[in-house]
Structure 1
Amino acid sequence: MSAAQLPSRFRVARPVAAIGLALLLSACATGPSFEAPADDFKGRISLVDTPVVVPGTEVKIAGQGFVPGQQVQLSYGGVALAAPATADAEGKFRTAFTVPANAPAGQHPVVVSATKPAAALVHPLKVSPNVPLSGQDKFALSSQKLVQGLYQAAYSAKTDRVFVTSAVGRPPVTQSQLLKVNAQTLAVEAAVTPAAAPARAPAPGQQARAPGVFAVYGVGVDDSNGTVWVTNTRQDTVAVYRQSDLQLVKQFAPGTVPHARDVLVDEARGKAFSSPVGHPAIKVFDTRSLQELPEIKVQTTIKGRDAKDFSPMSIDLDRASGKLYAVSGAGEVAVIDTRSGTVEKVFIVEEIKSGTGIGIDERSKRLFVTGQGSDNVVIVDPATGKTLHDVPVGAGALNVAVDAPRGLAYVPNRAAGTVTVVNTNGQIVANLPGGTLPNHATFDGKGSIYAVNKARGADDAQGDRITRISPR
């Protein structure tokens, strides 16, 4: 079926109920014949070879769990997207259609109707904004391949070094390193593999597995004490290493920080903060004594949710004021006074889905909040919670690093493979190539950003790289 035969445009917010009603009324006009419905229907569809859908994309669909011989029709707004498909002897089928070139970004409900026997489901098709590369003449990029499984980076102003974490695979993770990288040459000067983690009791009916290591994911630098803090996400904890030789200073016990994501250090106040995904609080540590301090509890403000449903993701600190900002997966932002350990306010950023990244511009006092599910960065006034600008940046906007002196925010877009540079007025200054799966970025305080990305396999030449991005 050609793109010209598709609906004139995808509509972002058309209710599924309205679509179902339109189909029902159409069927009633022709006198439908009801048939026996499918019992315990397990059919589902997924996208294949189409990691990112933008306007004009050919979408390849694979179905499974259908009844052999079942007739399947995909439609949108009551109009067929492709010719009907028939489930094979294994209950599988393949089909494809092209998204209209003028389709707006957003979640689009694709109706999957089956007959013989009758069944239906709705698949939310995410269409991402198509943001072309631009502004490459305004920035100098230098890149170096490191090791497999890069996650985050943190810059040391005292030593002019970048500390990078890496971890490969799923638990039990056996391949993980903390790297010390020369910020000028991007060469690895030292690396350490974390110690073996304690074994965990196997789940009922499962065999015991090797425990793996205390794999490192998030990272933060403490120049005052010459240390590097890391999160051990798989063991629900954090650890501290020495900057000079990457020797372990302290390994906190498993369970100290549930599903620890980020960690950052407030050197002026001698505290480290970590975000425990799924736990409604910010974990706090004394960076001198290396002791855990009372956590800062955060309650959600979303109606209909339990107060414990605030799930912190990325965190950032206004070092002058001592205010910590945390974004939740539900799109809420918590403003925390780290001096008193109290939450000043919690507000929701309506324009984002699946909140992940957050960064504060300490000069303009504007927040940059990314939505991995909505492919955007939203610029917010944290004093009022008001959205100032909503900027589509690309598929999978994951984290953000802010260059406050220049009023720029760098957003790694994991699925799009780009790093978008946005100013405080909501204008895209540049959209730069980020290699495969851009994952994180950190600011050096002098004008350069260090971004790291992941790879699609060990042979991916564009993955597992560190890239220094500097304005010309």
Structure 2
Amino acid sequence: MSPTQPLKSRAATHRLVCRATALAVAAGSVLAVSGTAVAHDRPAHARHAHQATYRVDSAQLATGLYQSAYSERHHVLWATTAVGRPPVKQSQLLKVDPKTLKVKAAYTPPVTDPATGAVEAVYGVAVDDEHDTVWTTNTRNNSVSVYSQRTGKHLASLPNVAHAREITVDERHNLAWASGFGDGSLVAFDTRTFKEKKRVKVEGAGTAGVAVDKRSGTAYATDLNNNRIIAVSPYKSEPRFIPTGAGPIGIALSANGRTAYTADQKDGMLSIVDLRKGAVTKTVPTGAGALSVDADHRSGRVFVANRGTGTTTVVDPKKGTVLADLATGPNPNHVTVHRGTAYVVDKSAAGADRIDSVHRISLTRSH
């Protein structure tokens, strides 16, 4: 997934923290670390005005981790893995126990080329608990797929999503929205019939992260090429464009759907965007290569995975302050939040056979 290649870290101290974490994870199956922060070179007003203590539990999971999604129906964490460049022969959809951080089941995507052994490698992932399915993006195959949550069976492959990067599910409106980075498209599929329902293509765009307001049904995609958000309503033919920070790649929405949060890869920022006004209201420095973002709809806190610095930053978006920076392995690639707990997958390749890790972040106390 070429758009996920980050800026290089400029902070040697962060590299040392990440290496120490990787060594500790490699030494055992689960590592628990508690802490408040790892300091960045950021303005004083953006530092830890209100510190919080978090527990980070880490475990080696699999080689080639990309993204994860939580199923409340089954209380499992789904994660994707893919190794190498085309023809990709090693890829799995993993069912992970969120308590033990161990793999409960692993499913291999279907073979696409018997001559080479290439498979329909999975990268992005989203859960549809309403219909008991898992949706994946198959970036190298320009498609998305659907799997059964109960059995792991491959149910369908849906083509023509150019360099499919991310996917999200709107259970209320029975739609799965996928971003096609290759041609600047945003594509919606019916989660019941798997048929394509809507396609919007923006010339020159690089659609990357995608989120959906489940109240209005509006989908929002970051445009990595043009420093903006593309908003697509299921009821309108023309998209709306909303400016955001430099190099936006990940996106999440507030609980009420009125605010968007973008992880801005180019300048290592979190942008807080008022969607009604169509303007950035705050920016918070988080770390080099800010890549993925998710919001906790219970507390309002926002989590940003910074691939360059090897940290995940916790932000209070109302105050625009950083609550904590937590070491989450070299090259954290994706963060997802469920009921106050964040799960971060990295591309550390720190263990034997280049194993990557998963990190669970939970709040222990605040002051």
TM-score by length of 2: 0.83
**1:2-401 superposed matches below 5 A:** 51-54=8-11, 130=41, 138-198=53-113, 210=116, 212-253=118-159, 256-297=160-201, 299=202, 308-329=203-224, 330-338=226-234, 340-343=235-238, 345-349=240-244, 352-363=245-256, 365-401=258-294
Aligned to 1:431: 325
Q: For 1:284 and 1:353, how far apart are their aligned partners in 2?
A: 26
Amino acid at match of 1:469: I
Q: For 2:107 and 2:209, how far apart are their aligned partners in 1?
A: 25
Q: For 1:436 and 1:452, how far apart are their aligned partners in 2?
A: 10
Secondary structure of the residue that 2:312 maps to in structure 1? Answer: strand
Cα displacement string for residues 196-246 of structure 1 (whole angstroms, at most 9, x for unaligned residues): 1148xxxxxxxxx82611110000101111110001100100111111121
Q: For 2:13 and 2:75, how far apart are their aligned partners in 1?
A: 45
Q: For 2:47 and 2:356, how far apart are their aligned partners in 1?
A: 21
Cα displacement string for residues 319-347 of structure 1 (whole angstroms, at most 9, x for unaligned residues): 12222111111211112223x15445202
Amino acid at match of 2:10: V
Provide closer, same or farther for how the CA distance between residues 408 and 251 of structure 1 changes in structure 2, counting only shifts above 3 A.
Answer: same
- Deviation (angstroms), 1:281: 2.1
Q: For 1:333 and 1:471, how far apart are their aligned partners in 2?
A: 31
- Deviation (angstroms), 1:56: 10
- Deviation (angstroms), 1:137: 5.4
- Deviation (angstroms), 1:367: 1.3
Q: For 1:136 and 1:151, how far apart are their aligned partners in 2?
A: 30
- Deviation (angstroms), 1:443: 1.6
Amino acid at match of 1:274: A
Aligned to 1:25: none
- Deviation (angstroms), 1:348: 2.1
Q: For 1:142 and 1:197, how far apart are their aligned partners in 2?
A: 37
Secondary structure of the residue that 1:326 maps to in structure 2? Answer: strand
**Alignment of 1:470 onto 2:366:** no
Q: For 1:386 and 1:151, how far apart are their aligned partners in 2?
A: 31
Q: For 2:110 and 2:262, how far apart are their aligned partners in 1?
A: 35
Provide closer, same or farther for how the CA distance between residues 56 and 360 of structure 1 changes in structure 2, counting only shifts above 3 A.
Answer: closer
Farther off after superposition, 138-147 or 407-416: 138-147
Aligned to 2:35: none
Secondary structure of the residue that 1:258 maps to in structure 2? Answer: coil
Amino acid at match of 1:368: Y
Q: For 1:148 and 1:449, how far apart are their aligned partners in 2?
A: 21
Percentage identity across aligned positions? 35
Gaps of 5+ in 2: 1-6, 15-39
Q: For 1:243 and 1:384, how far apart are their aligned partners in 2?
A: 39
Q: For 1:460 and 1:389, how far apart are their aligned partners in 2?
A: 42
Higher relative contact order (CA 8 A, sep 6+): 2
TM-score by length of 1: 0.65
- Which structure's CA Rg is the greater one? 1
**Alignment of 1:407 onto 2:300:** yes
Q: For 1:409 and 1:369, how far apart are their aligned partners in 2?
A: 10
Q: For 1:212 and 1:237, how far apart are their aligned partners in 2?
A: 15
Secondary structure of the residue that 2:140 maps to in structure 1? Answer: helix
Cα displacement string for residues 34-92 of structure 1 (whole angstroms, at most 9, x for unaligned residues): xxxxxxxxxxxxxxxx94224999xxxxxxxxxxxxxxxxxxxxxxxxxxxxxxxxxxx
Amino acid at match of 1:142: D
Q: For 1:380 and 1:410, how far apart are their aligned partners in 2?
A: 15
Farther off after superposition, 147-156 or 370-379: 370-379
Q: For 1:341 and 1:384, how far apart are their aligned partners in 2?
A: 19
- Deviation (angstroms), 1:251: 2.0
Task: Give the conservation status (yes or no) of the 8 Å contact 2:59–2:358.
Answer: yes
Q: For 1:347 and 1:231, how far apart are their aligned partners in 2?
A: 25
Amino acid at match of 2:280: T
- Deviation (angstroms), 1:363: 3.3
The structure with the largest strand share of the pair is 2
Cα displacement string for residues 8-31 of structure 1 (whole angstroms, at most 9, x for unaligned residues): xxxxxxxxxxxxxxxxxxxxxxxx
- Deviation (angstroms), 1:359: 0.8
Secondary structure of the residue that 2:308 maps to in structure 1? Answer: coil
Q: For 1:456 and 1:296, how far apart are their aligned partners in 2?
A: 37
Provide closer, same or farther for how the CA distance between residues 464 and 320 of structure 1 changes in structure 2, counting only shifts above 3 A.
Answer: same
Amino acid at match of 2:324: A
- Deviation (angstroms), 1:470: 1.5
Q: 2:314 aligns with which of 397, 402, 421?
A: 421
- Deviation (angstroms), 1:437: 0.5
